[in-house]
Amino acid sequence: MAYLDRDGIRIYYEDRGSGPAVLLTHGYSATCNMWKPQVDALADRYRFITWDMRGHGQTDSPDDASRYSEAVTVADMRALLDASGVRRAVVGGLSLGGYMSLAFYRTHPEMVEALLLADTGPGYRNPAARDGWNQMAQQRAREFEEQGLAALGQGSEVRIALHRSAQGLAHAARGMLAQVDDRVISVLPEVRVPTLVVVGEQDEPFRAPSDYMAAKVPAAELVIIPTAGHASNLDQPDRFNEALSRFLGKVAG
């Protein structure tokens, strides 16, 4: 457990295990704690770097809303790898963390050994569809501002998360969950690394996006986790770990 200072903002991260490096990013309103079943099971073979995004968990929640964005998140991920002495890693995440992993590949492809995209989507080409997503993000922000941390809900990944700032989560919704263009979805055909797309069988909102990513990424493999919802790594950790272990064994030794 450690902190990385990023221009006065403390980024919380954990660095466990030994072997090829794997950087994992959590979903919106979750924390790095959601990856515990994977780290506990595989840290004897791989080095896992997990972290709390801005506004989440034990990472700081700056008051300035401009300090939350896709670009800033990608820069935080790069800084974590640099601070850890890692030049190339398997990069992955769930939900918002998966989207940010694709954004990271778009900016730093030379640092990505392989991609893990779990219960996530690549964004939208259609501006109307993107506007619908952004309305949802704005609504989540308002809920946190009006209800405080009671707005977290009951998702598997949320129930095990400890947050310090409802306003930080609101800023993260507007600056990181909301999307501004189609740059990330446009990179899919250009991905040149092995990619594991994982989705829970019952995660209906992300089944179609997962199919789309698996079809568009040249070296993608799709795994559907039976009887799992949006947090497939927590709902069925053994099945998820089996798929992840098999994938890492092929791409990261």
Short-list 20, 52, 18, CA closest to 35: 52
Of 195 and 156, the one with more pLDDT: 195
**Percentage of residues in the chain with pLDDT exceeding 70?**
100
How does pLDDT run across 202-243, given as a tens digit for each residue? 999 999 999 999 999 999 999 999 999 999 999 999 999 999
Domains of the chain: 2-251 (3.40.50.1820)
Instruction: Give the single-character DSSP code of 26.
Output: -
Cβ atoms of residues 121 and 97 within 8 Å? no
How does pLDDT run across 106-121, given as a tens digit for each residue? 999 999 999 999 999 9
- The model's pTM is 0.97
Residue 159 confidence (pLDDT): 74
How does pLDDT run across 168-187, given as a tens digit for each residue? 999 999 999 999 999 999 99
